[in-house]
Structure 1
Amino acid sequence: MFRTIAHPTDEFTGKRVVVTGGSRGIGAAVVQRFLDAGADVVATARSATAETPAAATFVPGDVSTTAGVQALTTAALDVLGGVDVLVNNAGAARLHLGGTSTIPDEEWLDALDLNYLSAVRVTTALLPALREAGAGGAVVNVSSAAALLPTPPLAHYAAAKAALNAYGKALATELAPAGIRVATVVPGNVVTPGGDAIRQGIADATGASLADIAAGVPLGRPGDPRDVAEAVAYLASERAQWVTGVTLTVDGGELPLV
């Protein structure tokens, strides 16, 4: 079980934060973590849910499209007046149990648009605001363990997230002279609505139970969205002022060394 951790309530006071995919699961936990530390937060997703933190400004939209990104950018800057931290968390996966050859072209393109190109487009659109905010800004991309250990039913998702990892590393090098840091978080098996659906699909296809799937986590439990939110908050904070270009795995020790 996740243990609640005491942390400063003013660490992000005055900081302006944008979180994509912020309506539920990891994204909602990230939004709440920044709110708890005093930030002003704009969250976006296609629609709000019961999990979406009420204290954030929610902007509905689809960041897998250019028009959606443009609308988000305009709304976020209108609300916040600028951006200090961007968290690219938007993403989703659909299982294709027949393997890579059964994944149609449109699924590959959809996976790239939502899980990779959305982050590129949002970052590019908000980069002038990040640069204007000056040194101390941060971009944190939320990837997936699938990028490091891909499986055939999720090959399209894994490829998109692997591209996100590479993009984050390149962007970190580019933005370092401006004092803007870039990092990537790689969650493992985290209990979220999307992750639960994927695990259930695998369990149904293999005859394994959800408990069996979670049994390989050395720390003895699946992840909580707040585990990932803590990692994101650290990487976005001044505590990580000399940390950039990293890919941080948050998986309870499950992934092999790759």
Structure 2
Amino acid sequence: MKHDFNFNNELSGKIALVTGGTKGSGKAIAERLLAAGATVIITARNFPDEPNEKLHFIAADLTIPLGTKKVVKEVLTKFDTLDILVNNLGGSEAKGGGFSVLNDEDWLQTLQSNLLAPVRLDRGFLPQMIAQKRGVIIHIASIQGKLPLYDSTLPYAAAKAGLINYSKGLSNEVASKGIRVLTVSPGWINTKASKAMMERIAESSNTTIEQATQSVMDALGGIPIGRPAEPEEIAEFVGFLVSPRANYLSGTEFVIDGGTIPTV
């Protein structure tokens, strides 16, 4: 089957939602989809520091059910449909120091943002995607789903492992209905959030930020390419995955880590 693709405006007419879309990789992904012609909605708790009037913003706390219900209702009321869902929201705010310093609140907070928020949004938007027999769902996971850092981000790693497994199962269920579900698992990304994580690790371990950074690099086994990823590099790959050029890709986890994971 031959397709003629318009690479400059290939998402024209598509409605896309990017969670956590006001900063870091989420911001870069939203801008990449916008550049490809999509109408893009972003969500976060707070209004973006650098607002883009071309991006439609919905303030919502996706770590609670009411927040996800609000987003689903507003998107479908205003735009009638959703073609692309990028579940980018995530991160770790848990204390470093291993299992003994973590309480139930640490675990629940991390699971809510990294696993349950995507599950709820998928559940909210999938019925209309199935009805229109098309749609793409991207879950942004992490290499920590397979390479956990027990001393710094254990709940985050466990949540992302759950997301990877859930994403594969969901794909098996909805692929025959015209919905493509994919997982992108980045390694270290050079964002403000990653820098803040280094500060927390340094504080909890009574070391410098440089030492904390090196400790994480050592725990990861190094990054053969020699640097963390830039948010725009993750965004470029997501832009490909949601495009018609990737129509035969579904149910797969794609790792973008500069060679960090040491196994095939």
Find the residue that maps to 2:153 and give its secondary structure. helix
Q: Does 1:201 align with 2:200?
A: yes
Q: Please, which of 227, 234, 243 is the counterpart of residue 249 of structure 2?
A: 243
Q: Which residue of 2 aligns with 1:187?
A: 186
1:128 deviates by 1.4
Q: Does 1:58 align with 2:64?
A: no
The answer to whether the 8 Å contact 1:95/1:198 transfers is no
RMSD over equivalenced CA pairs, Å: 1.9
The answer to whether the 8 Å contact 2:234/2:256 transfers is yes
The answer to whether the 8 Å contact 1:24/1:52 transfers is no
Q: Which amino acid aligns with 1:227?
A: E
Q: Which residue of 1 aligns with 2:262?
A: 256
Segment of structure 1 superposing worse, 33-42 or 201-210:
201-210
Give the Cα–Cα distance (whole angstroms) in 2 for the partners of residues 31 and 140 of structure 1: 13
Q: After superposition, what is the alpha-carbon deviation per residue over 1:195-240, rounded to whole angstroms, capped at 9, x for unaligned?
A: 1111333355355627745693222221111111112112111111
Give the Cα–Cα distance (whole angstroms) in 2 for the partners of residues 252 and 173 of structure 1: 28
Q: Which amino acid aligns with 2:122?
A: T
The answer to whether the 8 Å contact 1:214/1:221 transfers is no
Q: Does 1:218 align with 2:216?
A: no
Q: Does 1:118 align with 2:117?
A: yes
Q: Which residue of 2 aligns with 1:149?
A: 147
The verdict on how the C-alpha distance between 1:15 and 1:31 changes in structure 2, with shifts beyond 3 A counting, is same
The answer to whether the 8 Å contact 2:141/2:185 transfers is yes
Find the residue that maps to 2:58 and give its secondary structure. strand
The answer to whether the 8 Å contact 1:31/1:53 transfers is no
Aligned residue runs from structure 1 range 19-168, under 5 A: 19-135=18-134, 137-152=135-150, 153-168=152-167
1:55 deviates by 1.0
Aligned residue runs from structure 1 range 222-233, under 5 A: 222-233=228-239
User: Which sections of structure 2, spanning at least 5 residues, go unmatched?
Assistant: 1-5
TM normalised by structure 2 equals 0.89
1:111 deviates by 0.9
Give the Cα–Cα distance (whole angstroms) in 1 for the partners of residues 80 and 147 of structure 2: 40
Give the Cα–Cα distance (whole angstroms) in 2 for the partners of residues 105 and 74 of structure 1: 31
Find the residue that maps to 1:31 and give its secondary structure. helix
The verdict on how the C-alpha distance between 1:240 and 1:70 changes in structure 2, with shifts beyond 3 A counting, is same
Q: After superposition, what is the alpha-carbon deviation per residue over 1:46-78, rounded to whole angstroms, capped at 9, x for unaligned?
A: 012224533110000011111111110111112
Q: Which residue of 2 aligns with 1:177?
A: 176
Q: Does 1:11 align with 2:17?
A: no
Count of aligned pairs: 251
Q: Which amino acid aligns with 2:230?
A: D
Find the residue that maps to 2:182 and give its secondary structure. strand
